[in-house]
Structure 1
Amino acid sequence: MSRRPRWWAIGRILVLALILHGVFLGYPFVRLGQWLGLEGPVWLLLAALIFFSQLICRWPLRQVAHPAARFLKQILELFLALSPLVLVLVVSAEVGLYFELATPQRLAV
């Protein structure tokens, strides 16, 4: 019986991490954008920035000394800090939508 290579296990972990990243960080902000009626290239750029914010602040901004770069890193990390709260709020709003307790326009305000 042959063992799978080490890269196979690393690949599985990366796929799981990307799925969790999409659920915790991507989904709430995409749904909020849909409720607010944001469309087009501006919304796509904003969604991409939010989704890839952790890759940007963990890799290129890992060890920065310039105050502006540190400020940018803190702003990008803010999305990660807010993502559990936003996820809970969006899921609870989705439950309200499912049971027709509210409309998307009312939830977006």
Structure 2
Amino acid sequence: ADIVMANLDDFRGAGEPDSGTAFEVGFAVALGKPVWAYRSTEATLAQRVEAGATENEGAFCAGGYLIEDFGLSVNLMLACSAQIVVGGPPACLDAIRSLVDDGTPGFGGSGLAKR
């Protein structure tokens, strides 16, 4: 693959995407592949966890641990290694295609503009 597109929506509860997908993102980053990801919301991790908490719990996970609020929609390692687009796969593909159309280095020969 020349590029990876990943679904980083919450998986089985508020907070984290699928662990297998997170591994694949990390592996692609380690190989130097561009990673684009999509989420259905711009809400931060802390906001989503807090929304699922009872009154006065704050942004604590089910295990009682405080969720650090970096203002990011996913874990720091995922948010800083992938280009995250709000929307689904079509929105993510549109963002990637705009780089192809602009001639951004690394995207010219991928053929994504034709798909």
For the superposition of Structure 1 and Structure 2, which TM-score range results when normalised by the shorter chain? under 0.3
Rg: which structure is higher? 1
Structure with bigger RCO (C-alpha 8 Å, 6+ apart): 1
More helix by share: 1
TM-score, normalised with respect to structure 2: 0.27
| Structure richer in strand, relative to its length | 2
